[in-house]
Structure 1
Amino acid sequence: MAEVLKIQKWGNSQGIRLPKKILEMLDLKVNDTILIEEEDDCLKLKKIKKEKRKTIKELFANYNEDYEKKEIDWGEPVGKEVW
């Protein structure tokens, strides 16, 4: 697919607007992050996929250590602290 676009001035910068069909083809939406690479005198756009946030169970799935709760002596209350 080839598309001719015009560089336009936006404030103190310049930019191009990506047509809807290109956004749909790449499954890009507002606020998505893309990687722009220069390769052989061309620009290459690539969508950066968001990593799925892991649940607490997934984060600790391979955790086999025994956990010992330790009490820490933080000292006496200071000022208006209530312990």
Structure 2
Amino acid sequence: MNIINEKIVIESVSRRYPKYNITELVSRMPEDYHPEEADWGKPMGKEVW
């Protein structure tokens, strides 16, 4: 937001998202990490498990 010639000017700004690297992210995980399985119950409708 700027003031130009006594007017408030609002301009859009492009967002910069961080670039992720899966290898680097996984390297930060503890070696003893073992995710738990989640039980979502029986299939409903046309779901297939």
Range into which the TM-score falls when normalised by the shorter chain:
0.3 to 0.5
Which protein shows a greater Rg?
A: 1
More strand by share: 1
Name the TM-score, length of structure 1 as normaliser: 0.30
- Larger RCO of the pair (alpha carbons < 8 Å, separation 6+): 2
Name the TM-score, length of structure 2 as normaliser: 0.43
